């Protein structure tokens, strides 16, 4: 059944495509403007994706550099054990 339906559909589609005539219609510049805009959108999307992929390693380096700076700052910052209480600072 499936094979018969598939062959019948294919033959019907082939007959419809073969019997078509040329369409003589004015398209106008609006279609071209829309097509160019659509192409620009695709090109912009690909460019942004490429920029993100290429800039990601630099982002990782930047993040690693800042995490080292932050860890050094945390090492120099007074902890709860070494920090003086306000009362001790006043009495000195």
- 36 — pLDDT class (breaks 50, 70, 90): very high
**Spatial distance between the Cα atoms of 52 and 33, rounded to a whole number of angstroms:** 28
**Spatial distance between the Cα atoms of 47 and 41, rounded to a whole number of angstroms:** 10
Give the per-residue pLDDT at 4. 67
Instruction: Give the rounded percent of residues in the chain with a pLDDT score beyond 90.
Output: 33
Check the CA dihedral 21-38-54-59 and report its sign: negative
Say whether pLDDT at 40 is over 70.
yes
């Amino acid at each position: 059944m499936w094979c018969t339906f598939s062959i019948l559909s294919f033959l019907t589609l082939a007959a419809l495509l073969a019997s078509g005539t040329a369409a003589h219609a004015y398209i106008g510049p609006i279609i071209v403007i829309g097509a160019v805009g659509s192409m620009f959108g695709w090109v912009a999307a690909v460019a942004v994706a490429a920029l993100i992929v290429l800039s990601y390693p630099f982002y990782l380096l930047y993040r690693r550099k800042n995490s080292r700076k932050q860890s050094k700052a945390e090492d120099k910052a007074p902890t709860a054990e070494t920090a003086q209480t306000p009362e001790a600072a006043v009495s000195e």
